[in-house]
Chains A and B, each alone.
Chain A
Amino acid sequence: LAKTTQPISMDSYEGQEVNITCSHNNIATNDYITWYQQFPSQGPRFIIQGYKTKVTNEVASLFIPADRKSSTLSLPRVSLSDTAVYYCLVGDAGGYQKVTFGTGTKLQVIP
């Protein structure tokens, strides 16, 4: 399983765009990149998944460069409710995925 590295924490003001970068230097050809969000005392919640280039949904965007050795989760105009821990994971989305979480990035949104 490809190991990921993320910043431990980030602070942002409300209304700002937040970009969280994850590095995964040994990502395999079949691996997808998935981001989860977790609030205290809740299970992780799926945010977005991608393989290459850019993926956008109603919650976030995911930017993946051509070499796929990193990815950036972009949260537009964050609000206080976006304060959470964000996990980046890589794995083969086509088969069984023994997901390995790191410590994630704790995002604190400041009013």
Chain B
Amino acid sequence: DTGVSQNPRHKITKRGQNVTFRCDPISEHNRLYWYRQTLGQGPEFLTYFQNEAQLEKSRLLSDRFSAERPKGSFSTLEIQRTEQGDSAMYLCASSSTGVETQYFGPGTRLLVL
């Protein structure tokens, strides 16, 4: 399967702990996006990379959130000092320059207790 993959698929953590999620985009895609989705809502944009450069961040991405894409391939999203309000599905998508259809991964469901 050469689609977007995300790990882990599920994560349960206690409030105050740090968590890190990984996204592996489609190999030839240079653009990578992170979204957050809560129950009953559509995905909300968090941040966007073109190659290794993080070009845009949403106001939703507080200081506790950081994303990286060190070699322009996979990306990680870290949440520090998790709060119960961080509980959501975190989605990753990728696309190619000039063909902006975004292909989504299966998501990582986070539950903060």
Contact surface of B with A, Cβ cutoff 8 Å: 4, 31, 33, 35, 40-45, 48, 50, 55-56, 89, 91-93, 95, 98-107, 109
Contact = CB atoms under 8 A, between A and B. Distances in A.
B104 A44 contact: yes
B94 to A, nearest CB: 11
Contacts, number: 61
Given A96-B48, A96-B50, A44 B100 contact: no
A97 B4 contact: no
Q: Output the residue of A43, A46, A94, A96 with the most chain B CB within 10 A.
A: A43
Q: Give the top 6 A-B pairs by smallest Cβ distance, nearest first.
A: A101-B42, A43-B104, A97-B100, A93-B100, A101-B43, A44-B104
Interface of A: 32, 34, 36, 41-46, 49, 85, 87, 91-104
A43 B100 contact: no
Contact of B101 (A34, A87, A103): A34
Given A41-B109, A43-B106, A104-B42, A99 B33 contact: yes
Nearest to A42: B106
Contact of A96 (B4, B31, B35, B107): B31
Given A41-B107, A101-B42, A46 B100 contact: no
Nearest to A100: B45
21 contacts: A41-B107, A41-B109, A43-B106, A43-B107, A44-B43, A45-B104, A85-B42, A91-B100, A93-B100, A94-B98, A95-B100, A96-B31, A96-B48, A96-B100, A97-B100, A98-B56, A99-B93, A100-B45, A101-B42, A101-B43, A104-B42
